């Protein structure tokens, strides 16, 4: 944004133009968050775990974090 903001209305207009980007950011943040909460819920039901299970879950979280990139394509 190379435009100068001189008044409150200019500020509101600039924020309105940013709204789609903010919505996209919020959605890309919310998607991995939903998966993370689901994973934590699943882990609470296990009586024990080992290093292999942690690597499986880490791989799952890696795949989830790639969601914004695949959606951008």
pLDDT value of position 72: 66
Instruction: Write down the pTM of the prediction.
Output: 0.53
Residue 67 pLDDT > 80, yes or no? no
DSSP 17: H
Work out the burial of residue 11: count CB atoms within 10 Å of its CB; fewer than 13 is exposed, 13-18 middle, 19 or more buried: exposed
What pLDDT digit, counting tens, does each position of 10-44 carry? 889 888 988 888 888 888 788 888 888 888 888 88
In the structure encoding, which two tokens stand for residue 18, read together?
């940013």
CA distance 57 to 1: 40
Q: What values do phi and psi take at 50, rounded to 5?
A: -140, -175
């Amino acid at each position: 944004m190379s435009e100068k903001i001189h008044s409150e209305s200019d500020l509101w207009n600039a924020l309105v133009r940013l709204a789609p980007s903010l919505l996209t950011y919020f959605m890309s943040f919310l998607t991995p968050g939903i998966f993370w909460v689901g994973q934590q819920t699943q882990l609470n039901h296990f009586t024990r775990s080992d290093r292999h299970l942690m690597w499986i879950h880490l791989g799952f979280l890696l795949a989830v974090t790639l969601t914004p990139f695949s959606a951008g394509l």
